[in-house]
Amino acid sequence: MTYLQAILLALVEGITEFLPISSTGHLILASHLLHISQTNFVKSFEIVIQLGAILAVVGMYWRRLFKQWTVILAGFLPAAVVGFLAYPFIKSQLIGNTQVVLWSLFLGGLVLLFIDKLTPRPGTLNIRSALIIGLFQSVSMIPGVSRAAATIIGGLLVGLDRKQAVEFSFLLAVPTMIAATGLDLVKSGWAFSGSEWLLLLVGFVGALITAWLSVKFFINFIKSHNFFSFGIYRIALAISFLLLTQ
């Protein structure tokens, strides 16, 4: 991996992490286009830059993280259990699988086309609703599903409004991605060379700055728009990439 490739992947991560379009899916597709082999280091790099993006949310929402830590923890638990048990399978079989990404993007896009048509009974964010949202987040272990999309859909289905669902998705990302990054670093044994650590630093900082801007954009966007356009984008991306790679 070159430094230019690291910067490009960091930008992709920062822009897409909190949008319901799958940052992992975009990283896999970007790696494919940039001819970056899915080595163990590249897979670890993709997880570490996700942590950089997450720290943007910590900086913006740290007060709410402390205030709502109980419901955030409840929402985190289902994904923590699934992620811990399924980690070897996820990293060896799912991450880097282009076909899995394309199908997940396409099917998730279909869901986003119609999610705003549903009118569930208005609900509140409590332990029960957080657990349900956490179960939806567990599905995002499949690359291309999108952690943001899964948690936002879960939030809407338990009765949160768009802004509430989006912001809880941001908050829930913090423990989820910190745990995923920590687990990956432990499993890798911290066995990176000096140049690889520098690549990780470049990607980390790039993703943090870009994610900060992306979060601000998304919050403003969702105040007056629904998720239909994201569904269209996901479907168009999946079909276009499939046609271009035939």
**pLDDT tens string 185-214:** 676 666 678 888 899 999 999 999 999 999
**What single letter denotes the amino acid at residue 240?**
S
Where is mean pLDDT largest: 30-39, 135-144, 148-157, 190-199? 148-157
Q: Quickly tell me which residue has 């279909």 as its tokens.
A: 110
214, 18 Cβ separation under 8 angstroms: yes
- What does the longest C-alpha to C-alpha distance in the chain come to? 54
Mean pLDDT across 113-131: 88
For the beta carbon of residue 3, count every other beta carbon within 10 angstroms. Answer: 12
**Tell me, what's the pLDDT at 92?**
67
Query: What does the mean pLDDT of the chain come to?
Result: 87
**Tell me, what's the pLDDT at 95?**
67
143, 22 Cβ separation under 8 angstroms: yes
Non-local (6+) Cβ contacts of 190 within 8 A are none
**Tell me, what's the pLDDT at 198?**
93
**Tell me, what's the pLDDT at 143?**
82
Q: Alpha-carbon torsion 68, 73, 75, 79, what sign? A: positive
Binned at pLDDT 50, 70 and 90, residue 46 comes out as: confident
Extract the tokens encoding 241: 């990439």
d(CA 180, CA 149): 18
Mean pLDDT across 208-232: 94
The H or E element containing residue 17 is none
CA atoms within 13 A on the CB side of 89: 7
Least confident of 88-92, 136-140, 207-211, 238-242: 88-92
216 closest CA partner among 5, 19, 62, 9: 19
**Total tally of structural domains belonging to the chain:** 1
Taking the model in full, what pTM does it have? 0.86
Residue 93 confidence (pLDDT) above 70: no
175, 79 Cβ separation under 8 angstroms: no
User: Could you tell me where the DSSP H helices lie in the chain?
Assistant: 3-16, 23-33, 40-67, 69-89, 98-114, 127-139, 147-157, 162-188, 194-222, 228-244
Q: At what angle do helices 127-139 and 162-188 cross, to 10 degrees?
A: 60
- Give the range of the structural domain holding residue 93, as residue numbers without chain letter: 3-244
**Tell me, what's the pLDDT at 3?**
93
